[in-house]
Structure 1
Amino acid sequence: MGRGAYAVARVAVIVRAPARRLWALGVLGAGVGALVPGLTGRRIGLMAGAVLFAGAAAAAFLARRGRYAELAGGASRAGRSVFLQDRAVTVRNWSRARRWWLAAGFLAAVGSSFAVPAAAGLALAGAGTGLWAKALWLGGLERRADALLWVRTDWVRGGPAGKGVPGYLTTGIGAGDALPGGARRRGRAAPGGAAVSAAR
């Protein structure tokens, strides 16, 4: 898995990071779009949006699940030179790297409402819902294995299950500042880059 000190980020946090933003932007885009009659009319737009919501949610949830399970099954224990990236840092890095894509998606969702009102916005919201569900699924894997899944931060440009990721690392279930599934761990301060050797 490599030598020397390096940072790792929680797999579930990376998956979960876009969920709330896509949901919020999608709902906002759908709400704005619903104010526009559009070419098809609001009723047809909302019906189409409901179908797209379900399809996008299913696609986001099911995409590459086999790859995630394969990497999780072959994960190795993290060494003492590894540093845990805080949940907030992981989310912030994801948002900064993709802020223009999020803005473009929102504008496209609003613009498309002049043709099919609210449909594209609901598709965005569905994608966010599917990613949130996938993070919960990863949390189930972590609980059953009694270990949290991490990935090197320099490997995730193509996503936490991309071709550039040769494997995951694991720590104890109490390591870091995020629960299984990527939710924020309450009642405990973020470790600020605590070494894995100090994790429970």
Structure 2
Amino acid sequence: MARGGQSLARVAVAVRAGAAPLWWSGIVGAAVGTVPPGLTGRRIGLLAGAALFLVAAAGVFLARRGRYAELAAGAVRAARQDILQDRAVTARAWRRARRWWLLLAFPVAVATSFAVPAAVGLLVAGLGAGLWLKAVWIGRRERVDDRLLWVCADRLARRGGPAGRHVTAYKATGIAAGDAAPGGARRR
């Protein structure tokens, strides 16, 4: 690495990295969870799951938005020596750091279906939907500000994610930098 440079990871990619695994674990867990009737019955389980889905999606979407906005407002221009991480590398690192939580999501969703069918599966899917919505919100902010937000990859690996207490500042680049579009999606 060049002198004084840092490895930078996209904020939106880090937020979006958990969306797909949680969404699919939850949806498949909820589908499998509708097979046993459970203690409460399928109807109550699905209604409770729908409510949990909405609460989880809204909670994850609204959590730390002020912190994200504060860090985005204070973002400084990235240096020439900084190295921009690929989208796939950032997503893989985020998922690897949290692999046990992601792997436990499906069996827990299926196991709890014997009590309340599909409820926990829909809760897990709601967490994934909330992360996706937050990544879309960050992407809209990036488009409006006409700059992409980056965080030091070393700080991202720690607990708390891209808006944790250990993250002190974001860096910014032009909208064409990196291999991910605003919001963390693949660039077309």
TM range (shorter): over 0.9
Contact 2:5 2:79 in 1 (8 A): no
Q: What does 1:1-200 correspond to in 2, within 5 Å?
A: 4-156=4-156, 157=158, 158-186=160-188
> Which amino acid letter does the alignment assign opposite residue 64 of structure 2?
R
Partners of 2:59 and 2:163 in 1: CA distance:
15
- Range moving further from structure 2, 41-50 or 92-101: 92-101
After superposition, the C-alpha distances for 1:132-160 in whole angstroms (9 at most, x for unaligned) are 01001001110111000000011121210
> Which amino acid letter does the alignment assign opposite residue 120 of structure 2?
A
The Cα shift of 1:178 comes to 0.3
The Cα shift of 1:106 comes to 1.4
Aligned-pair RMSD on alpha carbons?
0.8
Partners of 1:74 and 1:100 in 2: CA distance:
34
Residue identity over aligned pairs, in percent, reads 66
Which position in structure 2 is the counterpart of 1:190?
A: none
Partners of 1:154 and 1:104 in 2: CA distance:
25
After superposition, the C-alpha distances for 1:27-46 in whole angstroms (9 at most, x for unaligned) are 00000100011000001000
Partners of 2:42 and 2:109 in 1: CA distance:
14
How many residue pairs get matched?
A: 184
> Which amino acid letter does the alignment assign opposite residue 147 of structure 1?
R
1:8 match: secondary structure: strand
> Which amino acid letter does the alignment assign opposite residue 74 of structure 1?
G
After superposition, the C-alpha distances for 1:67-123 in whole angstroms (9 at most, x for unaligned) are 000000000000011000000001111111111111112111111101000000000
With normalisation by structure 1, the TM-score equals 0.90
Contact 2:25 2:106 in 1 (8 A): yes
> Which amino acid letter does the alignment assign opposite residue 7 of structure 1?
S
Query: After TM superposition, where is structure 1 displaced by more than 6 Å over at least 4 residues in a row?
Result: none
2:43 match: secondary structure: helix
Partners of 2:173 and 2:96 in 1: CA distance:
27
Partners of 1:95 and 1:164 in 2: CA distance:
19
The Cα shift of 1:4 comes to 1.1
> Which amino acid letter does the alignment assign opposite residue 143 of structure 2?
R
After superposition, the C-alpha distances for 1:150-181 in whole angstroms (9 at most, x for unaligned) are 00011121210000000000000000000000
Which structure features the higher share of helix residues? 2
The Cα shift of 1:18 comes to 0.5
Contact 2:33 2:118 in 1 (8 A): yes
